[in-house]
Structure 1
C-alpha cells in the first residue's frame, strides 16, 4: 500500500497544493518528484483520469523528463491507448536502451496486447538487470497464470515469496493457481514450512492465515493471524483479515474490535471504514454503522460500498425510499456489482414494485448467477404471486448455477409440494437432507399447518432411516 508522508513537505501538503491549483484553475510549478507522488497516489486510488491530468502537467513543465514519459506510458496502458503507448516506448528505448523500468513497462504493454511469449522474454531479460528479482518473478507468475499454465505460475510465485514474504498480494494468486489444479489443500505446507524457517516473520504467519481463510479453515486462520499480531501488534493488515474471519464466523463483536485495531494502527481508508460499518450493522447498531459509512464517503465520495452500506441499513430499518436512493447512488458509481442490483430488487419488491423488482433480479443474474440469495428472493416473487410453475423453474435454474446449496433444495421441495408435485418434492427433499440436515427446519415456515408439519416430520424421519 502507498505510504503517505504526512510531513509539511509530504504527500498531504503536495496533494492539497496540487488540488487547490486545479480547483481554482491556477498554475503552479512542482518538482518532478512531487508530481510523481501525485501521479502514483492517483494511480493507486485507480483515479486514472486524474493521474493523466497530473502527468500532462508534468510533461508540460518537464518535457524532457524520462520519468514523466514512463508514467504517461503506464497511464496509457491503463486507458487501453496502446498505439500511443507503443510510440512512447519506442522513444524511451531510443533514449535509454536496456533500462530495467522501461523493460517492465514494455512487458506490461505486451501483456495488455495478449503477447504472452514476448512478455515472458522481456521479463527473463529483466532478470539480468536486477539484483532483487522478486518483482520479476511475481510478474512471470502472473503472465503464466494468464496463460493458464498454472504449474509455471506456481514456480515463479514461490520464488518471489521465498525471496520476499512481504509480497502479500502474491498469496491469493498462488492459492488460485493451486485451487485451479485442485491441489491447494495439499500445498498449504508450503506456508507452514516458511513459518518453521522463520518463526518470527509476521508476513509468513499472515500468508498462512490468508491461505487458511481461503480454504475456510477459520480457526486455523485466526491462529495464524494471532501469531502475526503477537510479533507485531501494529500489523494493521492482520487485524483487518482477522476481522474478516470473525465476520465469516458471524462473531460480529470480535470483528468490530479487529477492524477498530486495524484503524488504530493503519491508514484510515474507505475500505476499512465500510468493513467496520458492516460489523456494527450486523449487530443492529445502525447509528454506528451509518457513521462509519458516511466517514468512508467523506474520504471518497465515489466509494460505492459506502452508499450500499447506507442502503442496507435503511432497508433493514424498513426505510425503503431512502434505501432505494442509496442503492441507486451505488449503482451510478458501479453498475456492474450484482449485489447492488439484488438489494435494489429486494427493496423494490418490498415497495410493491414487482415489475421493477423482476427487472433488477434479472440484471443481478446477468452479472453473477452463483448467489443462492438471488434465486431464493427472485423465485419467491413468483411464488407469492401464485405462479408456482415460474417459481419452480427459477429455483431449479438456481440449483444448476449454485452447487450443492441445501437452501435451494428445500425451497424446491416447498414449491413442488405447493404445486402438488409430490414425487419431485421428495427428490429435492432427499438431496437437501443429505446436503444439510439441520437446514430442513426452514420447510416448516412454508407450512404453518400443524397437520402438514407432522406429515413432513414423518417423511423426513423415514428418509433418514433408509440411509
Structure 2
C-alpha cells in the first residue's frame, strides 16, 4: 500500500468515526515521509479535532520548522497555543503567518481573539477590522467585532455587526442568539423574542436561546408564557441552574411562592455562589410571609457579594415591612451606593435606571428622575430608558410628561408593544374616546395591548372594555367585575367574582368584590359570608371591614366593633 492509499484509508476511517484506526494510518504515513510538513500539519489537525492541543502544537511546530514559508502552518500553531491559553505566544505565531500572507482573514481574526482573551479589546477590534478588510465575506470576524462591542457596552454599534454576520451566514445560531441579546439588553424584548426564535429554528435543542425567550417574557411580565420556556430549558439541561431560578421566580410573581420555592432552592443547590439566586429566594419568602427567613437569605447573598444591589433592596423591603424604617432606609442607601459605583464604572443605561428606581421607591422622587435622565443621556439611541422613565411618570400621575417621553421612545422603536401600551396608559379619557376605534384596531394583534386599553376603558366605556379584557387572566377578570358593576349588572359581577375566588382563593379583593356584588343584589347573608372570608385573608382590609359593617347595619345587628376597627385605620371611615 503506497502513502496515498494509507492517507486515504485514514481519512475514510475518520469519516466513519474510527479515530483510533485513522490515527494509526496517519502515523504510518508519517513514518514513510517524516520530512513532509503536510503530514505533520494533518496530524496536528487530527489532534486538534480530538481536543488534544498540546499534541497538535508539537506537530504544527514541526510543520513550521520544515516549511517556515507556509502561512497556514503558523496560523494553526497559533490556534493550538490559543487553545492552551498561551495567548502571547499565539499572537507571535499569527504575526508570523500574517507577515507571509498579509490578507489572511482567519489569521487576523484569530489574532484578534487572542488579544481579546488578554483584555486588549482595542487591539482585538483592530485585528477584526483587518480580517473584514481582507475578506468582507468572513462572517466570523463580523461576529467577533460585534461581540466585543457588545461587551464594551456599545450595543447599538454591535447590532450592525451581528446583523452582517447572520446575513453572511444565516445558519449561525449563536450569532442569531447574540443579535437577539443586543435587542434584549436594549429593552426591545418583543424584537429579541422574534430573533431568538430564528436561532431555535436552526436548532430547537439550543438551550440558551430557549431560556432567553423565557427571560424576555419575564421582563414583559408575561410569566404564564415564560414558564414553559424555563421548563423546556430544564428538560434540555437539568443542571442549568439559572433556568431553575427563573421558573421559581416567575411562579413567585404569579403569586405561587409555595411552588416557586422548590425551584429556587434547587438553583442554589446547583450553584450556591450566585447572589441573584438568594435574592429570588428572599423574595419568595417575603411572599410567603416568612420575613425572618427572607432577611437571613438576603444576608447570605450579601455575604457572597457585599455590593449586590437587589439583595440590599430586598433587605430594605423586609425591614420596611416589619416597621424598621431607619434600618430600611440604611439598606436602600447601601443599594444606591453600590448602584452608583456600577453606574459610573460601566456607564450602562440599565445601571442608571436601577439607581433611579431605588431612589424613587425610597421616596426621593426628584433625584430618582434625574437618574433616568442620565440613562437617556448615555443611551439616547435606544428606547428602553425612555420607556422606563415613562413608567415612573405614569405611577406619579404625570401623564402629559409621560406621553412626551413615550413618544420619543416610540420614535426609536415604533413597533414596541411596551411603548404602545405605555402610550395608551398616558392618554386621557377624552383622548381615548376620540381615537377609540383606531386604538382598538391597533391593539387587536396583541393580548397585552388589548388588556391595557381595556383597563383604561373600565370606567369610561365598560361595554368596550369587556370586549378587550382577557377572560382567563386574574387581573383582567377583576376588571371585568368592575365593568359589570359599572353597567349595574350585579348578577354577572357576582358570578365572575366567584370564578375569581376559585382561581385565587387567598386573594382578598375577589372576596370583597363578591361581597359587594351580593350586597347590591340584597343577598345580605351571602354578602356577609364573603366579607367574613375576605377578613380571613386580611383582617385589616378596610374594604372588607366596611363591607362587613354595612351588612351588619342593614340587617339590624351591632356593627360597632367593625366601626371601631375602621376608625383606627382611618378616622374618616364612618358607616
Normalising to structure 1: TM-score of the pair? Answer: 0.55
Hey, what does 2:184 align to over in structure 1? 281
Residue 360 in structure 1 maps to residue 272 in structure 2: no
Change (3 A) 1:347 1:217: farther
Hey, what does 1:327 align to over in structure 2? 230
Following TM superposition, by how much is the alpha carbon of 1:155 offset from its aligned partner in structure 2, in angstroms? 4.0
Following TM superposition, by how much is the alpha carbon of 1:309 offset from its aligned partner in structure 2, in angstroms? 3.1
Q: Assess if the C-alpha contact under 8 Å between 2:233 and 2:240 holds in 1.
A: no
Deviations 1:220-240 (A, max 9, x none): 222211110011111111111
Change (3 A) 1:196 1:320: same
Hey, what does 2:82 align to over in structure 1? 175
1:184-223 superposed matches below 5 A: 184=87, 188-223=91-126
Hey, what does 2:245 align to over in structure 1? 342
Change (3 A) 1:214 1:349: farther
Hey, what does 1:393 align to over in structure 2? 300
Following TM superposition, by how much is the alpha carbon of 1:314 offset from its aligned partner in structure 2, in angstroms? 1.3
- In 1, the alpha carbon distance for the partners of 2:213 and 2:28 equals 50
Following TM superposition, by how much is the alpha carbon of 1:374 offset from its aligned partner in structure 2, in angstroms? 3.5
Deviations 1:377-420 (A, max 9, x none): 44554577522223323543xx3xxxxx6644995899699799
Q: Assess if the C-alpha contact under 8 Å between 2:75 and 2:97 holds in 1.
A: no
Q: Secondary structure at the match of 2:84?
A: helix
Q: Assess if the C-alpha contact under 8 Å between 1:154 and 1:177 holds in 2.
A: no
Following TM superposition, by how much is the alpha carbon of 1:248 offset from its aligned partner in structure 2, in angstroms? 1.2
Hey, what does 1:457 align to over in structure 2? none
- In 2, the alpha carbon distance for the partners of 1:172 and 1:379 equals 46
Q: Secondary structure at the match of 1:133?
A: helix
- In 2, the alpha carbon distance for the partners of 1:311 and 1:383 equals 23
Hey, what does 2:538 align to over in structure 1? none
Deviations 1:398-446 (A, max 9, x none): x3xxxxx66449958996997999xxx9xx99xx89x979579989949
Hey, what does 2:146 align to over in structure 1? 243
Q: Secondary structure at the match of 2:143?
A: helix
Q: Assess if the C-alpha contact under 8 Å between 2:137 and 2:168 holds in 1.
A: yes
Following TM superposition, by how much is the alpha carbon of 1:197 offset from its aligned partner in structure 2, in angstroms? 4.0
Hey, what does 1:230 align to over in structure 2? 133
Following TM superposition, by how much is the alpha carbon of 1:354 offset from its aligned partner in structure 2, in angstroms? 2.7
1:46-57 superposed matches below 5 A: none
- In 2, the alpha carbon distance for the partners of 1:338 and 1:168 equals 38
Q: Assess if the C-alpha contact under 8 Å between 2:125 and 2:145 holds in 1.
A: yes
Following TM superposition, by how much is the alpha carbon of 1:317 offset from its aligned partner in structure 2, in angstroms? 0.8
- Unaligned residue ranges in structure 1 (runs of 5+): 1-94, 111-117, 400-404, 454-467
- In 2, the alpha carbon distance for the partners of 1:160 and 1:342 equals 50
Deviations 1:180-236 (A, max 9, x none): xxx545754443443344322111110012222323433222221111001111111
Q: Which one is further off, 359-368 or 164-173?
A: 164-173
Hey, what does 1:259 align to over in structure 2? 162
Change (3 A) 1:389 1:277: closer
RMSD: 5.0
Q: Secondary structure at the match of 2:103?
A: coil
- In 2, the alpha carbon distance for the partners of 1:245 and 1:335 equals 30
Hey, what does 1:51 align to over in structure 2? none
Q: Assess if the C-alpha contact under 8 Å between 1:314 and 1:323 holds in 2.
A: yes
Q: Who wins on radius of gyration, i.e. which is larger? A: 2
* Residues paired across the two proteins, number: 329
Following TM superposition, by how much is the alpha carbon of 1:371 offset from its aligned partner in structure 2, in angstroms? 4.7
Normalising to structure 2: TM-score of the pair? Answer: 0.46
Following TM superposition, by how much is the alpha carbon of 1:255 offset from its aligned partner in structure 2, in angstroms? 2.1
Q: Assess if the C-alpha contact under 8 Å between 1:175 and 1:211 holds in 2.
A: yes
- In 1, the alpha carbon distance for the partners of 2:273 and 2:114 equals 22
- In 1, the alpha carbon distance for the partners of 2:300 and 2:218 equals 28
Hey, what does 1:100 align to over in structure 2? 10
Hey, what does 1:136 align to over in structure 2? 43
Following TM superposition, by how much is the alpha carbon of 1:319 offset from its aligned partner in structure 2, in angstroms? 0.7
Following TM superposition, by how much is the alpha carbon of 1:357 offset from its aligned partner in structure 2, in angstroms? 3.1
Change (3 A) 1:414 1:350: closer
Deviations 1:122-157 (A, max 9, x none): 7644544784432421443576859xxx5x565456
Hey, what does 1:317 align to over in structure 2? 220
- In 1, the alpha carbon distance for the partners of 2:258 and 2:29 equals 57
- In 2, the alpha carbon distance for the partners of 1:249 and 1:173 equals 27
Q: Secondary structure at the match of 1:349?
A: helix
